[in-house]
Amino acid sequence: MPDSTQVKDYRTGRVVALASTAALGGFLFGYDSAVINGAAQAIKSIFGLSDFALGFVVSIALVGSAIGAWFAGSLADRFGRRKVMLVAAVLFLVAAVGQAFPFSVWDLLLWRFIGGAGIGVASVMAPMYIAEIAPAQIRGRMGSLQQFAIVIGIFATGLVNFVVLNAAGGNARNTWLLGLEAWQWMFLSMVIPALVYGLLVLRVPESPRYLVAEGRDDEARAVLSTIYTGDVGAMVADIRESMDGDHKPRMSDLRGRTLGLMPIVWIGILLSAFQQFVGINAVFYYSNTIWEAVGFSESQAFETSLITTMVNVVFTIVAIALVDRVGRKPLLLVGSAGMVVTLATLTWVFGTAPVNADGQPVLSDGPDVVALVAFNLYVAFFAATWGPVVWVLLGEMFPNRIRAAALAVAASAQWVANFIVSTTFPGLAGISLGLAYGIFTAFAILSIPFVMRYIKETKGVSLEDMGKLEGACAG
């Protein structure tokens, strides 16, 4: 294991700086995916959308994310990690302006799709780049920066939306600065982080694994020498050996006997799907709508959602502190158990509450407190475990020779699952919030035997040794 035995000493500041820059893609990922939460009701009003149509406007970004993620791997192997991260920055910038000035719901869908493509690209590139430059000893913590950046992005969106909403008089349709409505400023606020991300990416070096794959060993050695203080010659040799092939990586390398794909790829796909099917993005895309439906005012719903995003940030920090100490698999199991209890509680509260004329539950004093506590505990369990750990695993669990392609497929599966949840949630919630949360509870239960059976611990294992776990994962 070259990371842990041949080259022990590394420059922590350098690693953190590179990982943080890559993780800024996660910030934009979180920011762009959650910004619709504050603008959703305004958009619904402007274009006269039904609940289903609003759900499609929200979730069309996830179609773009799935497609962006799918192509990100092959683009990264062809052009390099750094150039593809720049593409993500451009997509975020264009989408921010387009979503702020839609002429109709149709071009709004286009801009949402483009922004989603940026999210998909960033969701592949950040964990890939971080895993490929981080030493094994701290790779989990560095990989967790991706999720930390995502939740900071979500929190920043909530905070900006809240400030803009209150500055505009408490209504997203009110005119604010420069004659623009509040919801337009919510989208435009993404321009600044998109520009910062693009400028910082211009300053990071290319991934040494990509450079070795391109036969640019001297450049790879130079990059590794800025990270490690020891002789990196053996590491370059090990990277080259782990590529294991006489051709550049491609999607066909993922083929296997198990329904057409290698077992390790299926594990990555299912891991991604479970992360979404426990319903976390229903929380962040529709939290305002949920709390308004059970009797909260628009302002109260914003405040409650802001608290939830703060919980998300705090417990992601907990994950960063634990992932390299406790390991990936134990954290996933604890998270699954916690989500089962909290989601089951929400299912019971929403399912047994009296309903109003619209068929929505009305929470009285007592049950409303239980719902708020369970809701935030659910987010806490997810944020401390499944949120960051899945991204860490996706960035590191695949062997070097298939990492880009396998990560692209797994990330695409995550966005497809996210699309399914986000599109169906308004309809399910319209029937019964208890039904929606009951389905999330069922998937949380199913995630436990999946993790116990198929997830192998990767803590402290070098990327060059991941191929040795492949057979174990298959078993």
What's the predicted TM-score (pTM) here? 0.78
Domains belonging to the chain, first-starting first, are 2-474 (1.20.1250.20)
Task: Report which of 231, 200, 209, 32 is spatially closest to residue 130, judged by C-alpha positions.
Answer: 209
Phi, psi of 5 (to 5 degrees): -120, -45
**Which token pair is 341?**
């209890």
Phi, psi of 261 (to 5 degrees): -130, 155
79 pLDDT above the threshold of 60: yes
**Which token pair is 108?**
């709004």
Average pLDDT over residues 91-97: 95
Task: Report which of 178, 223, 225, 231 is spatially closest to residue 6, judged by C-alpha positions.
Answer: 231
pLDDT for position 299? 67
Task: Report which of 97, 158, 153, 98 is spatially closest to residue 122, judged by C-alpha positions.
Answer: 153
Exposure string over 5-28, b if 16+ CB within 10 A, otherwise e: ebbeebeeeebbebbbbbbbbbbb
- The span from the CA of 155 to the CA of 59, in Å, is 20
Q: Write the CB contacts of 367 (distance below 8 Å, at least 6 apart in sequence).
A: 349, 353
Q: What's the Cα-to-Cα distance from 231 to each of 9, 10, 216, 239, rounded to whole Å?
A: 10, 11, 17, 14
Q: Residues 174, 357: contact at Cβ < 8 Å?
A: no
Span 360-386, pLDDT tens digits = 666 666 677 788 888 889 999 999 999
- The span from the CA of 192 to the CA of 245, in Å, is 42
pLDDT for position 262? 87
pLDDT for position 328? 92
Angle at 74 (CA atoms; ends 68, 76), nearest 5 degrees: 85
Residues counted in the chain: 475
SS3 (DSSP) at 103: coil
Residue scoring higher pLDDT (474 or 312): 312
Sign of CA dihedral 457, 461, 467, 468: negative
Span 22-39, pLDDT tens digits = 999 889 888 887 788 788
Residue type, 296: F
